[in-house]
């Protein structure tokens, strides 16, 4: 018996729909805000869309006791930390004023300043004058800052000369290598942080643009957030050629350390800037720019990250190459943390020259919503957020 024409047409339409859905499910996901062709930067920034506060309950100063000297304050075990030299004081003061004005004058979390040299009385006097909360001044122990005894200094000089010839910034500055190592795996071991769990890292010369009216540390604690960031960039492959191969060696020896909900796709993406992934031997070089980070030190003190840092440290790349704390933290978080517990603080307006995180919010002033950089046009392609949004999400 012949099938009626309308039924045949309906069946054909159903088949086409099924084929379309199968194709959509199996095609490569697109990058948010980019177009086809060589990557030249995000074409449409989601920060241009209206940005509000995070959802859920938020701790506010008017609802709780956040007085600077209160013995029963609502503050959790957290601090603002800054690695800074005495000679950077004039660059630090405007940053302190920004963060105090936009956030900390409401919550009065302590500032802890770190230096490999003793702080001057002028530094202490001028910083405390800007802050109602407690200020703590700490010198880094020699065993945390010094060059480890397994580093061959002749090899260091030869290696850094090669890096310098390639035009790599700070390559021959021993103090820069020491700083990267300390920030990567030593800062949370300092005795002054022993009783703290959460930290907000702040550096001189950065700016904050938005009023933040909730306790950021309580926010991350209540949601068990491991790591928070604002800016997501590509790194210079020539600074870290052996970081990913060394990481792969560590993973091969410790496969159980890998999180079930990791960020491997973001760490190894070879579509957005394939030349970076090639030159970094399999690592996309995407990283959270760690001059801003809000993190849980319990993660860094944990077995997985501690073992990972120790393995990297023994490999010598903090000195023979220029492994930075930004890629090291990012790879560690990307491999060993639950990606659902990593948070983009899109509502915190921030600048570290030349990049911005500027939301479209009435709480912000002094920056342009969705503007990612200030400077030459080539800076646009240093934005790794499209890859992060694709592989991880926009949370």
Domain-wise residue ranges, the chain: 58-390
Predicted pLDDT of residue 157: 96
Predicted pLDDT of residue 15: 53
pLDDT band at 108 (very low <50, low <70, confident <90, very high): very high
In contact, 325 and 176? CB cutoff 8 Å: no
Please tell me whether residue 47 adopts helix, strand or coil conformation: helix
Tokens of 82: 């800054």
In contact, 59 and 214? CB cutoff 8 Å: yes
| Burial call 314-344: b when 16+ CB within 10 Å, e when fewer | ebbbbbbbbbbbbbbbbbbbbbbbebebbbb
Query: Residue 64: how many CB atoms within 10 A of its CB?
Result: 15
Predicted pLDDT of residue 27: 40
Q: What is the mean pLDDT of the chain?
A: 93
Q: How many helices (H) and strands (E) does the chain have?
A: 16, 12
Dump pLDDT digits (tens) for 194-235.
999 999 999 999 999 999 999 999 999 999 999 999 999 999
Predicted pLDDT of residue 322: 97
Q: Which residues are catalytic, by number?
A: 293
Predicted pLDDT of residue 28: 44
pLDDT band at 37 (very low <50, low <70, confident <90, very high): confident
Q: How far apart are CA 235 and CA 224, in angstroms?
A: 28
pLDDT band at 105 (very low <50, low <70, confident <90, very high): very high
pLDDT band at 38 (very low <50, low <70, confident <90, very high): confident
Query: What's the DSSP call for residue 4?
Result: P
| C-alpha pair distances (Å), 124 with each of 93, 107, 162, 305 | 11, 21, 40, 33
Q: What is the pTM of this model?
A: 0.91
Give the list of residues 6+ apart from residue 326 with CB closer than 8 angstroms, or none. 233, 235, 287, 288, 289, 290
CATH of the structural domain 58-390, one choice from 3.40.1030.10, 3.40.190.10, 3.90.550.10, 3.40.50.150: 3.90.550.10
Q: How far apart are CA 133 and CA 255, in angstroms?
A: 44
């Amino acid at each position: 018996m012949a099938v009626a024409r309308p039924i045949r047409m309906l069946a054909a339409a159903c088949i086409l729909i099924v084929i379309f859905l199968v194709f959509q499910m199996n095609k490569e996901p697109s990058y948010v805000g980019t177009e086809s062709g060589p990557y030249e930067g995000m074409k449409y920034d989601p920060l241009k869309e209206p940005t509000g506060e995070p959802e859920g309950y938020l701790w506010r100063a008017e609802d709780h006791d956040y007085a600077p000297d209160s013995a029963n304050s609502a503050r959790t075990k957290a601090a603002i930390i800054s690695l800074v030299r005495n000679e950077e004081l004039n660059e630090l003061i405007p940053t302190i004023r920004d963060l105090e004005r936009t956030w900390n004058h409401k919550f009065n979390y302590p500032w802890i300043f770190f230096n490999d040299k003793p702080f001057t009385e002028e530094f202490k006097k001028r910083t405390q004058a800007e802050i109602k909360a407690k200020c703590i001044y700490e010198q880094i122990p020699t065993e945390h800052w010094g060059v480890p005894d397994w580093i061959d200094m002749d090899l260091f000089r030869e290696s850094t000369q090669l890096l310098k010839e390639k035009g790599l910034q700070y390559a021959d500055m021993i103090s820069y290598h020491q700083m990267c190592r300390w920030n990567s795996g030593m800062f949370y071991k300092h005795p002054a942080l022993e009783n703290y769990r959460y930290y907000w890292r702040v550096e001189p010369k950065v700016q904050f643009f938005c009023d933040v009216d909730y306790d950021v540390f309580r926010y991350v604690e209540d949601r068990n957030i491991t790591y928070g960031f604002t800016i997501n960039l590509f790194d210079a492959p020539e600074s870290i050629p052996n970081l990913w191969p060394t990481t792969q060696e560590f993973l091969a020896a410790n496969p159980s350390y890998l999180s079930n909900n990791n960020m491997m796709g973001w760490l190894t993406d070879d579509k957005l800037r394939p030349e970076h992934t090639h030159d970094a031997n399999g690592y996309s070089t995407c990283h959270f720019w760690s001059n801003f980070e809000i993190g849980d030190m319990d993660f860094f003190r944990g077995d997985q990250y501690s073992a990972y840092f120790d393995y990297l440290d023994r490999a010598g790349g903090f000195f023979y190459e220029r492994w930075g704390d930004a890629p090291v933290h990012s790879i560690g978080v990307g491999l060993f943390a639950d990606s659902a517990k990593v948070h983009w603080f899109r509502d915190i307006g921030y600048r570290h020259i030349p990049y911005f995180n500027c939301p479209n919010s009435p709480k912000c002033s002094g920056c342009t919503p969705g503007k990612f950089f200030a400077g030459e046009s080539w800076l646009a392609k240093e934005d790794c957020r499209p890859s992060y949004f694709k592989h991880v999400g926009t949370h």
